[in-house]
Amino acid sequence: MPAVRSVAVTIPVNGIRPAYGPGNLGNFIGPAGLALIAGSSNFVSPKATVNALIPAMTSFAGWYILALTAVLFIGFETRSRTIDQIVITLTGTPTESFPVRARLG
C-alpha cells in the first residue's frame, strides 16, 4: 500500500488583504459621523444625548438602506455554487477547470 504524502499548498490571498483597509475605515467613520451628527467635539468616543438620538438613528437607517439597495442590485447568491459557476456569473465566459486530484510519486 503506498504511503500518503502531505504537500503544503499556499492559497493566494492577494484579494483579501486590500479589503481590510476599506473595511476597517468604518471603525473610524462611524464614530466620527456620529460625533458630527451629535455636535460632539470628541470624534473618537462621542457621548450620546437625547437631542442627537433621532438624527443618529436616521443616519444609521440611511446607511442600512444604502447597503440593502447594494445587496439587492449587485449581490447574488453563492451558496451551493462552484467557483466556476460564480466566475461564469461574474464574467459571462467559462474558464478552464483544472483537476484537483493529482497522484504523487
For 25-54, the pLDDT digits (tens) are 888 888 888 888 888 877 777 777 888 888
What distance, in Å, lies between the first and last C-alpha atoms of the chain?
13
Given the C-alpha cell 453563492, which residue does it identify?
A: 78
* Predicted local confidence at residue 66, as pLDDT: 94
Q: For the whole prediction, is pTM greater than 0.85?
A: no
Per-residue pLDDT at 86 exceeds 70: yes
Domains of the chain, residue spans: 17-91
Model pLDDT for residues 3-18, shown as the tens digit of each residue: 666 666 665 556 666 7
Instruction: Output the CA angle 53-22-15, nearest 5 degrees.
Output: 145
Assign 31 to helix, strand or coil. Answer: helix
For residue 12, the model assigns a pLDDT of 58
Contact 78, 86 (CB under 8 A): yes
For the cut 70, the answer to whether the pLDDT of residue 102 exceeds it is no
The pLDDT of 78-96, averaged and rounded, is 80
> What's the pLDDT at 76?
79
Secondary structure class of 82 (helix, strand, coil): coil
Residue 46 burial (CB < 10 Å; 0-12/13-18/19+)?
buried
* pLDDT of 62 higher than 90: yes
Largest CA distance in the chain: 76
Q: Look at residue 64 in the predicted model and tell me its pLDDT.
A: 93
